[in-house]
Structure 1
Amino acid sequence: MNATLDITALQEEILRLKAERNALILAHNYQLPEVQDIADVLGDSLALARAAARTDADVIVFCGVHFMAETAAILNPDKVVLLPDLEAGCSLADSITADELRAWKAEHPGAVVVAYVNTSAEVKAESDYCCTSSNAVQVVQAIPEDKEILFLPDMFLGSYVQRVTGRKNMHIWMGECHVHAGIQPLQVQTVVKEHPRAELLVHPECGCSTSNMMLVAEGVLPAERTKILSTGGMLQHARQSQAEEFVVATEVGILHQMEKQNPGKRFIPANPDAVCPFMKKITLAKVRDALRENKHVITVPADIAARARTAIERMIAIG
């Protein structure tokens, strides 16, 4: 009971501070349930970037990870962007540096660089396009077929995009999200067998995504019940589907919204240990402190922001 009272009191204080500061709270689908519940906008990286681009709030509190707050700061140079915990990083974003990208570009002069949004501002500044899992296929399809493509940093999303688009001149950086990489094909097959009527929803960052596409082609997994989707796409599909059970292959934080939006339907994690420790860094107390004490202001140097903004705006415009 005391924990419930504490959560309620914190949420009420956050709402009061938010009104006083004309603030917007953005939260990713992987955040703690109580943080999701106080967000003005809850969504995947693309939805949150679009919300950041169009807001008239004075302050943006980003309940996500560092690269997301950087993206909001790039889109809103005149606003205060707060990240409640500076330790909310991303193993995938850390898998490539700007120096490494510059060296890769030197090996492929003239190639078009497509950077997943899970990258630092410096990497985005070296890129031609950004993308998210919701529009990566469409971004690659928007690039002339004769253009060589460098896709980074997620090898699983890159392999998925290459398979869907059929692009032969696409090079893929060998990075990964350690949480999604840990969701393995055998785990997925086992859970699907235990729930034979369930639909399978797979995030394309998962270590099992490309394998699952092959297993679908081979008839091991049911083609009509297997969907590879972004987190936003998963939520939308779960609402629209007539299925009553879903096996979900992504970070388990999304299950809170799935259950909240779909009473009566059942959602089973493909791997219940798929928990991102970085996404769970942000708590209600830290959100309150961010609003009360201006913790922690995220800024991007003007020259880097100017170069990165073009790639981000292309991402927002496509799909």
Structure 2
Amino acid sequence: MTIQEEIRALKESRDAVILAHYYVEPEVQELADYVGDSFYLSKVAAGLQCKVLVFCGVSFMGESACLLSPEKEVLMPDPAADCPMAHMVTEDEVLKYRGYYDDLAVVCYINSTAEIKSWSDVCVTSANAVDIVRRLPQKNILFIPDKNLGRYVAAQVPEKNVLLVNGCCPVHQEMQLAELQALKEAHPEAAVCVHPECNEEVTALADYVGSTSGIIKFASASKGQEFIIGTEVGVLYKLQAENPDKRFYFVETTPICRDMKLVTLEKVLAVLKDGGSRVTVPAELAEKAKKPLERMLALAK
């Protein structure tokens, strides 16, 4: 029996569903029941009828699934898979801004810990941030923790006063403009598609800026044949699967999220066998942290 067959058999016996982010290894995406970005997976997790969720991603994703589906057993194949940006704001910073502005909404990128969500008014993802911020009644928006996504949102909703902290995704922040320009010179017909977590210089060069799922949709719908992709390299699996005749290029310093790559088929099998690495959120924290997630799902309908 192959490892894939073992996982499928255990999944059926345990009434489990496997969710995987686009950034995990291709063989994990191939085996998963659902593959997507944070917004898609958060919606799916909340609506599934099963006993067990195996979340192939990083820790904040497992926490979010636990918050939205407290009756389910949420398992992480590798509990060490974390997101540095998910920790990049303090409660003191949030309280400082709340003290400055009476008319303030704290908008929290879903790429954050449950504790940070508990300080917030609403969560967003890169796919829905602009629409949700635009719909909020408050003029003043504290966007946490990603300064790059927050800056992108601010440019799309100039009627709002968007305030930022200094968090970022290291993988996207460190993408080099010079490497992107070299790719563009080598492939002048290629459309440049980048994630809004990238730094300002990189997004300024892009033909399309959007979430991981947005990049996939753009490339699939485009009549073009070549694309320069400015996000984590794991998305290549889905891009090639949907567009076998198109060509995709990544910068020389390959954008790799080492935490996402910690998730392997062997670890998926192990967690289904022993049930370890179960995600838990303390009840008092969960009550506060799930409210901004629920508000996000309501506003994003």
TM-score, length of structure 2 as denominator length? 0.95
Summarize the Cα distance change of 1:245–1:122 in structure 2 as closer, same or farther, 3 Å threshold. Answer: same
- Alpha carbons 1:183, 1:271 under 8 Å: kept: no
Q: Does the residue aligned with 2:2 lie in a helix, a strand or coil?
A: helix
* Alpha-carbon distance between aligned partners in 2 of 1:168 and 1:311, rounded to the nearest angstrom: 20
Matching of residue 13 in structure 1 with residue 3 in structure 2 = no
Matching of residue 280 in structure 1 with residue 273 in structure 2 = no
Task: Spell out, residue by residue over 1:31-90, the C-alpha distance to the aligned partner (whole angstroms, 9 max, x if none).
Answer: 011111111110000000001010001000000000000000000111100011111001
- Alpha carbons 1:92, 1:118 under 8 Å: kept: yes
* Alpha-carbon distance between aligned partners in 1 of 2:234 and 2:182, rounded to the nearest angstrom: 21
- Alpha carbons 1:135, 1:318 under 8 Å: kept: no
Residue 98 of structure 1: how far off its partner (Å): 3.7
Corresponding residue number in structure 2 for 1:31: 24
Corresponding residue number in structure 1 for 2:111: 118
- Alpha carbons 2:89, 2:166 under 8 Å: kept: no
Count of residues in Structure 1 that have an aligned counterpart in Structure 2: 300
Q: Percent identity?
A: 42
Matching of residue 211 in structure 1 with residue 204 in structure 2 = no
Q: Does the residue aligned with 1:204 lie in a helix, a strand or coil?
A: coil
* Alpha-carbon distance between aligned partners in 2 of 1:82 and 1:100, rounded to the nearest angstrom: 32
Q: Which runs of 5+ in 2 are unaligned?
A: none
Residue 102 of structure 1: how far off its partner (Å): 3.3
Q: Does the residue aligned with 2:126 lie in a helix, a strand or coil?
A: coil
Q: Which runs of 5+ in 1 are unaligned?
A: 1-7, 216-220
* Alpha-carbon distance between aligned partners in 2 of 1:31 and 1:213, rounded to the nearest angstrom: 24
- Alpha carbons 1:249, 1:271 under 8 Å: kept: no
* Alpha-carbon distance between aligned partners in 2 of 1:10 and 1:106, rounded to the nearest angstrom: 54
Q: Does the residue aligned with 2:106 lie in a helix, a strand or coil?
A: strand
Task: Spell out, residue by residue over 1:140-191, the C-alpha distance to the aligned partner (whole angstroms, 9 max, x if none).
Answer: 10112x5311001111111111011114521011111111111122222221
Q: Please say which of residues 242-251 and 268-277 is displaced more in the overlay.
A: 268-277
Alpha-carbon RMSD: 1.6
Matching of residue 290 in structure 1 with residue 271 in structure 2 = yes
Residue 301 of structure 1: how far off its partner (Å): 1.2
Matching of residue 304 in structure 1 with residue 297 in structure 2 = no
Corresponding residue number in structure 1 for 2:180: 188
Q: Please say which of residues 146-155 and 21-30 is displaced more in the overlay.
A: 146-155
Corresponding residue number in structure 2 for 1:235: 216
Corresponding residue number in structure 2 for 1:84: 77
* Alpha-carbon distance between aligned partners in 1 of 2:252 and 2:286, rounded to the nearest angstrom: 37
